[in-house]
Amino acid sequence: MKHFSNFIAGEWRQHSGRTMDVLDKYDRTPIAQVVASSEADVDSAVRAASAAFEAPELDARGRSDVLVKAAHLLAERKAEFVTTIVQEGGQTLAEATREVTRAVDVLINTAEESNRVVGDMIPLEGAQGGAGKIAFTTRHPLGVVCAITPFNSPLNTPIHKIAPAIAAGNPVVCKPASQTPISCLLFAEVLHAAGLPPGWFNVLTGSGQTAGDLLMRHPEIAFYHFTGSTEVGMKLSGQLGLRRASLELGSIAVTIIADDADLEDAIPSTVRAAFAKAGQVCTSTQIIYAERKVFDHVCKGVAQAAAELRAGDPQAPSSDIGPLISPAEAERVAMWVTRAVDAGATLVAGGSRDGPVVQPIVLLNAPDPTEVICREVFGPVVTVLCVDSIDAAIARFNALPYGLSVGVFTRDLDKAFQAARRLRSGTIHVNAPSSSRIDLMPFGGVKDSGHGKEGPRYALREMTEERLIVFHNVAPRQQPC
């Protein structure tokens, strides 16, 4: 079993406090031991980042070079990271491989963006009183960035926060999820080997109730980049005062299938979106709204496709779906499904459970206000509901408290543009399901799904401040003859 200390100021800090076990998510055996960080640990990490910010050793080109080298080093250690993600996160081999590949791309794309941190020219001469003035904006780093990340993407989600922060000139303190901290700790080795100076990246492990709460209250943190539940996001917002944050919070992701949709594309792609990573993705399709004309066809197709998926040991190449993050979460999902069936829903696929492994579940016509309709399931459950029109589907989606991602399948341009105009969601995919992310996209939600954007270019702008510079009494330009 591996033992990890916190990574602070470029070194592994020895400790004499409590430790926590990290478990293999399939067989529940311990695979690593990490630190349960104390207040002293948190303060040490933040102060190391503050010192790095006050004495910066890297310019924009230097930061770009570090991120490019980190991408190459991560690619060289791909097999190690894949194995780690499968064990600590329960992802299948195919899912973990995709995650590492995406993470390498994010590093390279962010390195490119670090060389393009620019402001704008302001055309003051076009305004009354603007003659003789030249104005432009510049962008500058904010200070220490705190990245708090979830369990479901233990490498790529942290990198979406860490890399843009560094690219913008902000040192980082990262607290990965207590269930899946190893990938982030290994990534600290990658950044250190890539030449990132001490203090620019620090990793603290521990629970959200202790280390997370201490970070929320630390006065030297300038920006928080958080992915997690709406409840915790609201708690964090209450601690911030005037400090800034990017919050990617809860979701009930929806895919709408119109009666003119290409069902041969819509059904299998939506099933993949519902059950990838055992449904533990904020954009996993949880509800399918199918227009009445195609409702029966969609129900049959989704149920059949779900039944063909193989759930089990994520290290087995034959497995399509791995375990949930814990047996307790599997029990909760099973309980929610039972309540939905008791309330009138029809179970047409899946439902069996073996410890943390849940066979993909398809429900029909679950009524309000059952949990599978009104709360984020975060498990391998999708509910198909019949609607009379696209208008009805849009109204039902907009009535949800969340607005992160929605997919719409239709061949009718009028329906597509109507959905694009009216759906209140951070992302609207046309002819793709809700979970269709490309890492370059500006990604974020509205309503109770939070605010702020991920995606290298957009996250980098979130973590810089804009300054306006105005030169007065500039000599007028000579008029041409």
- Note the pLDDT of residue 209: 87
Taking the C-alpha atoms of residue 253 and residue 232, their distance in angstroms, rounded to an integer, is 19
pLDDT digits (tens, 9 = 90+) for 392-408: 999 999 999 999 999 99
CB-CB contact of 289 with 254 (8 Å): yes
Whether 117 shows a pLDDT value over 70: the answer reads yes
Q: Which of the four pLDDT bands, split at 50, 70 and 90, describes residue 480?
A: low
Say how many CA atoms lie within 13 Å of 338 toward its Cβ.
8
Helix axis angle, 182-193 to 156-168, nearest 10°: 40
Taking the C-alpha atoms of residue 10 and residue 202, their distance in angstroms, rounded to an integer, is 8
- Note the pLDDT of residue 57: 81
Strand-by-strand arrangement of the 2-3 sheet = 2-3, 30-35, 19-23
Tokens of 101: 């590949």
Instruction: Over range 64-92, report the average pLDDT.
Output: 98
Say how many CA atoms lie within 13 Å of 422 toward its Cβ.
17
Whether 473 shows a pLDDT value over 90: the answer reads no
Nearest to 143 by CA among 463, 447, 365, 413: 463
Peptide bond connecting 369 to the previous residue in cis, omega within 30 degrees of 0: yes
Q: Which of the four pLDDT bands, split at 50, 70 and 90, describes residue 478?
A: low
Q: Position of tokens 């993949």? A: 272
Instruction: Over range 120-129, report the average pLDDT.
Output: 94
pLDDT digits (tens, 9 = 90+) for 179-218: 999 999 999 999 999 999 999 999 999 998 899 999 999 9
Helix axis angle, 93-114 to 60-76, nearest 10°: 160
Whether 481 shows a pLDDT value over 70: the answer reads no
Helix, coil or strand: residue 16: coil
- Note the pLDDT of residue 211: 93
pLDDT digits (tens, 9 = 90+) for 1-52: 899 999 999 999 977 679 999 999 999 999 999 999 999 999 999 999 999 9
Q: Which of the four pLDDT bands, split at 50, 70 and 90, describes residue 295?
A: very high
The torsion angles phi and psi of 122, rounded to 5 degrees, stand at -110, 115
User: Which one from 95, 99, 248, 462 is the annotated catalytic residue?
Assistant: 248
Whether 474 shows a pLDDT value over 90: the answer reads no
Nearest to 37 by CA among 204, 159, 238: 204
| 184: annotated active-site residue | no
pLDDT digits (tens, 9 = 90+) for 359-382: 999 999 999 899 999 999 999 999
Q: Which of the four pLDDT bands, split at 50, 70 and 90, describes residue 55?
A: confident
| Percentage of the chain exceeding pLDDT 90 | 95
Nearest to 271 by CA among 258, 285, 283: 285
Q: Which of the four pLDDT bands, split at 50, 70 and 90, describes residue 476?
A: low
pLDDT digits (tens, 9 = 90+) for 301-339: 999 999 999 999 999 999 999 999 999 999 999 999 999
| 220: annotated active-site residue | no
Q: Positive or negative, the Cα torsion across 133, 136, 140, 146?
A: positive
Domains and CATH numbers, the chain: 2-249+449-467 (3.40.605.10), 253-430 (3.40.309.10)
* DSSP per position, 328-357: HHHHHHHHHHHHHHHTT-EEEE---EETTE
Instruction: Over range 73-83, report the average pLDDT.
Output: 98
pLDDT digits (tens, 9 = 90+) for 424-469: 999 999 999 999 999 999 999 999 999 999 999 999 999 999 999 9
Strands (E), 275-409: 285-291, 346-349, 353-354, 357-358, 361-364, 381-387, 402-403, 405-409
Nearest to 446 by CA among 480, 406, 407: 406
User: Which one from 282, 291, 376, 462 is the annotated catalytic residue?
Assistant: 282
Which pTM does this prediction carry? 0.95
